[in-house]
Amino acid sequence: MYKRILLKLSGEALADKVQNQTFNCQKISSFAKEIKQLHEKGIEIGIVIGAGNIWRGKFADLIGIDYEEADYMGMIGTIINSVALASALKKVGVPSLVMSAINIDPVTIPYDPELARQKLKEKTVVVFGGGTGKPYFTTDTAATMRAIEIEADVILMGKYGVDGVYDTDPRNNSDAHLLKKISHQEIIDKKLEVMDLSAVELIKNQSIDIRVFNMNDPTNINKVTFGEDIGTTIKKGE
C-alpha cells in the first residue's frame, strides 16, 4: 500500500514494564523481525523513536535541571534507542544506519536529507536519532519533519497501549469512541491528543497520511502498511 514509510515508535514500546528495565530484548527483537518483513517486500523504511523509556521531561523539575538541558538529555536518549534498534535490525540481516541531528561518531552519522533519501532507495533502513537537534521540539515534530524531508507516503504512528485516535481520552472516559478517519485540521480544531499539535500543523498541507495504531502488537506494523483497517487514518482535508 505504501512504498516509503516513516515509522514513529514510542520509547516506552521498547521498555520492560514488568521488570522495570529500560529495554525489553524480546520486544526489540520482535520489532526488528516485523521491520525485516517489510524490508523483504521492498518497502523503504525510515524510523524515529522517542526516549520515554530512558528520560521523561517531568524528571527535570524534580532534579532541578534546566529545560534546555533536559531536552538535550531526551535527544541523547533517542540516539541510544536508535542504536539499539539499528543493531537489532543488523542482527536479523537488515542493513541499517543511524543518522542523527546530534552526531555521535562512530555510532551515528550526521543527518543529511539527500543522503537519507539515497540510502532509502538502496533499501537501507534509516533510523533518525537526536530529535530535531534543537530544544523545545518533540519527537512527534522530528518525525513529521523527517517524513516531509524524505518524501514519505505515510507516518506510521505506533502508540503505547492506545488503539488509535479517540474523541476523548479513553484513559479517563470509558465512553470514548475510536475515530476511524479524521483530517489533520480536525485534529487541530478539536485539540485531540494524538500527537503534538505543532507537528500536525507542519503536515496538514502535505499529502502524507498518518496511521495511528497500537504498538503492543508488533504485527500491527505490517497490517497497517499493507492496508488492514486498524487504528485511525488521518488524511489531508478529509
* Average pLDDT taken over every residue of the chain: 93
Residue 238 has pLDDT above 70, yes or no: no
Residue 58 has pLDDT above 80, yes or no: no
Q: At the fourth CATH level, which superfamily is domain 4-235?
A: Acetylglutamate kinase-like (3.40.1160.10)
* HSE-CB for 130 with a 13 A CA cutoff: 18
Domain map of the chain by residue range?
4-235
Percent residues over pLDDT 70 in the chain? 99
Start-to-end Cα distance in the chain: 19
In whole angstroms, what separates CA 76 from the centre of its chain? 16
Q: Where are the alpha helices (DSSP H) in 54-212?
A: 58-63, 67-91, 113-121, 139-149, 184-190, 197-203
For residues 20-48, average pLDDT: 96
Instruction: Among 21-30, 57-66, 104-113, 147-156, name the one with the lowest average pLDDT.
Output: 57-66
